[in-house]
A and B are shown apart, each in its own frame.
Chain A
Amino acid sequence: MYNSKATISSINFKQVARALTIVENDLTESAELLKNLTFNKPTPIIGITGPPGAGKSTLVNELINNLLKEGNKIAVLAIDPTSPFNFGSLLGDRIRMASHFNHPDVFIRSLATRGSLGGLSVKTIEMADVLRAAGFDYVLIETVGVGQSEVEITGLADFTLVVLVPEAGDEIQHIKSGLMEIADAFIVNKADRADADIFFNNLKKITSQNKEEQTQIFKTVASQAIGIDEVTAFIKSSASQKNQRRELLLTQKAYQLIQHKLTRHIDKKKLQHAIAEALNTEGFNLYSFVDGYL
């Protein structure tokens, strides 16, 4: 039913969409499909992260606008959280990108975290690679906006934009947050708000400490398409540079893939049953219990 080689070489949205489904759900054909992926150009993967409501989706929408002007083909993976209680998800990032729904060069896919933490879904690496192999010129990944720990994106993206809003806590919040260390550039969105300049300057001070090079900071008002050109220029220049972190990135990806493969046979529901049973025996010890799985 599915011919992985033939389908991935040209951008057929329907086939790309199905390939993503196969990979996301680890269906039978998945391993074969991934092993047959070929990459004809160095498509950069750009991570966009930041707290909820910072304007990530709106910014992505504007970046698409700008990148389209040069005839690029763009794929977006927009990630939203899965409920830990009923395992369902409401995926709404797309709403902000409605003007591109019918554009033949824009492919948008929403995905749910399905229980993984860190702002990505378990299969994001694989899905991003399917899109790269499909021949898109840019792959944009918008992470879940969960706060201070969605740093996994650095293990996946060639470079990461951190979107912040002027009133997002005082500067101390930013120093402690893991987000601050992962940014290749910061975007202060909603920069037309009062105190945006104070925020901008504070951010500049914090990020220039202990660093030879100042991390770039951009001011934008994404909802009015202000400041987007500068960000686009940054994306293009970063994309054309040879990624110094390539080995590190691939190591991280390999590590994650191995980790997922090794724990694949462990089903959380079954684990819970096993725990329930083990609890009935005398002298239950979690560490001895875990040994049984290694």
Chain B
Amino acid sequence: MRARVFVTLKRSVLDPQGKAIQGALETLGYPEVEEVRVGKVIEITLKDGERSAARARLEEMCRRLLANPVIEDYRVEFEAEPSGARETEPTSAKDPA
């Protein structure tokens, strides 16, 4: 079972990276952009099990390690099909043969 954890800075915390990207988008001709917030995505593969129990465990992981509650918020999402989605083939250099 695969989950994604999204970690972002809290609304009350200034995000200079987001601000810089917003400025860049503006100069590139996207004035409609109102705000950009930058965060990180952490992909976690878990042993298959019950989803609600897994969510509780993941949220605990967020509180303890993955996010710093003083400055960051987090959100946990599960991938649509727990067993269906498999790793895609690596796309880097292959044997030229």
Indicate whether A and B interact.
Answer: no
